[in-house]
């Protein structure tokens, strides 16, 4: 089947894109660890959804892009793997607490500690280990500042881009609130689809670039992953599509990982609950 056979719902320009536009960088290095070295292998711990059930589940899929917090723009820095990692973490957060509590995380707050410079790029697993062990800082946005203030947390924020930014004193204290302790190492395309359908959005790499999948679509008998990119408004409002063959050819070399979800941020749960209690649920929600 050629790309021209696809329905108009997917613009063929945004399928299996392997070259970055001149204005943006990529920056995902191939994995240096073996499958299962740092995180449990999904296929060994969870039952995958059989292919025979996929189509019904895809048809019943809600519009999962709703919980994507933000499409980011990495500019000319090689931070794609940090963008995808923090993006996937943001999705878990929004699912647990609601989008009204969305806190955008700064990719550079992760990347800065695992890469020697802004151009070098990073592996996905290095990003995951950093966000597992240390955490990330909120991005410097008015909305983030407002939420941190409401929750009586220190306003220690950092911009999304700018490798040489100065970090606030004692930034690690706040970063611990934004850790993601558990991830799964995914070995197959079927594992990726299973996780996407279960609302655990996988971070993956291919062709030197990392993104995270948010939805499964099927066109003319072929399965595609709709992913959130970090090139601003590039593609279909920030999204692109990867075919099964494109992903399968790269998944072993770059890796695919999904948050195990659920056990994040009990301290934040308490703070949000406290705020709601103090305001007796009467305060209007924060809208982005």
Partner 1 sequence: MRSKLLLVTMALAVFALSSPSWSQLTTLPTSGRLLGYAASPEPCGWLIIGPNNTDIEPVVSTDMRSVVFQGDAGSYIIVALVIKTLPDGKPIVSPLRKVLVLGGTVPPVPPPLPPGSKWILILEETGDRTAQMGNLLIAIRRQPELSKLVQILDKDAQAEYVKKILKAIPTGYTFPVIASVSSAGEPIRISPLKATDGIEKVKEFLK
CB of 41 to partner 1, least distance (A): 13
* Separation CA 207–CA 245 (nearest Å): 13
Torsional sign, CA 278, 280, 281, 284: negative
Contact footprint for partner 1 (CB under 8 A): 45-46, 49, 57, 60-64, 66-67, 94-100, 169-170, 173, 176-177, 194, 197-200, 260-263, 266-267, 269-274, 276-278, 280-281, 285
User: Which CB, 102 or 111, lies closer to partner 1?
Assistant: 102
Give min distance, CB of 22 to partner 1, in A: 37
Q: 10 Å Cβ neighbour count for 65?
A: 15
The residue (of 96 and 248) whose beta carbon lies closer to partner 1 is 96
CB of 246 to partner 1, least distance (A): 23
Cα separation, 126 vs 122, in Å, equals 7
Q: Which is nearer to partner 1, 109 or 123 (CB)?
A: 109
What's the closest the beta carbon of residue 100 comes to partner 1, in angstroms? 7
Q: Which two tokens stand for residue 270?
A: 């308490």
Cβ proximity to partner 1, 135 vs 208, nearer residue: 135
Q: Whole-number minimum distance, CB 95 to partner 1, in Å?
A: 6
The number of angstroms, rounded, from the C-alpha of 85 to the middle of its chain's C-alpha atoms is 4
CA distances to 49, 142, 184 from 181, rounded to whole Å, are 24, 27, 10
Which DSSP symbol is given to 148? H
Residues near 5 by beta carbon (within 8 Å), at least 6 away in sequence:
220
Q: Shortest approach of partner 1 to residue 217 CB, angstroms?
A: 15
Q: With respect to partner 1, which residue has the nearer C-beta, 96 or 165?
A: 96
In the chain, DSSP finds a helix count (H) and a strand count (E) of: 12, 8
Q: 23 or 45: whose CB is closer to partner 1?
A: 45
In angstroms, the CA 53 to CA 176 distance is 38
**Contact predicate 122/203, CB 8 Å:** no
Name the packing angle between helices 124-133 and 80-97 (round to 10°).
50
């Amino acid at each position: 089947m050629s790309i021209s056979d696809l329905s108009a719902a997917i613009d063929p320009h945004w399928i299996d894109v392997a070259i970055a536009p001149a204005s943006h960088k990529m920056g995902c290095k191939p994995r240096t660890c073996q499958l299962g070295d740092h995180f449990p292998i999904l296929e060994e711990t969870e039952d995958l959804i059989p292919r025979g059930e996929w189509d019904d589940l895809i048809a019943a899929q809600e519009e999962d892009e709703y919980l994507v917090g933000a499409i980011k723009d990495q500019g000319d820095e090689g931070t794609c793997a940090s963008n995808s990692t923090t993006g996937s973490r943001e999705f878990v957060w929004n699912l647990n607490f609601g989008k009204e509590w969305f806190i955008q995380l700064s990719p550079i707050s992760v990347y800065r500690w695992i890469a020697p410079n802004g151009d070098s790029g990073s592996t996905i697993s290095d990003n995951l280990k950093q966000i597992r062990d240390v955490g990330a800082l909120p991005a410097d946005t008015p909305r983030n500042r407002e939420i941190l203030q409401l929750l009586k947390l220190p306003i220690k924020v950092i911009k999304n881009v700018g490798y040489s930014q100065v970090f606030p004193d004692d930034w690690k204290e706040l970063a611990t609130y934004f850790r993601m302790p558990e991830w799964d190492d995914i070995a197959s395309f079927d594992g990726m689809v299973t996780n996407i359908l279960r609302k655990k959005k996988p971070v993956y790499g291919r062709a030197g670039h990392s993104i995270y999948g948010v939805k499964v679509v099927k066109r003319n008998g072929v399965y595609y992953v709709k992913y959130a990119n970090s090139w601003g408004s590039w593609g279909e409002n920030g999204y692109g599509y990867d075919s099964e063959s494109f992903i399968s050819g790269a998944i072993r070399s770059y890796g695919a990982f999904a948050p195990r979800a659920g056990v994040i941020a009990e301290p934040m749960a308490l703070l949000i609950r406290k705020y709601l209690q103090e305001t007796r649920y009467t305060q209007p929600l924060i809208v982005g």
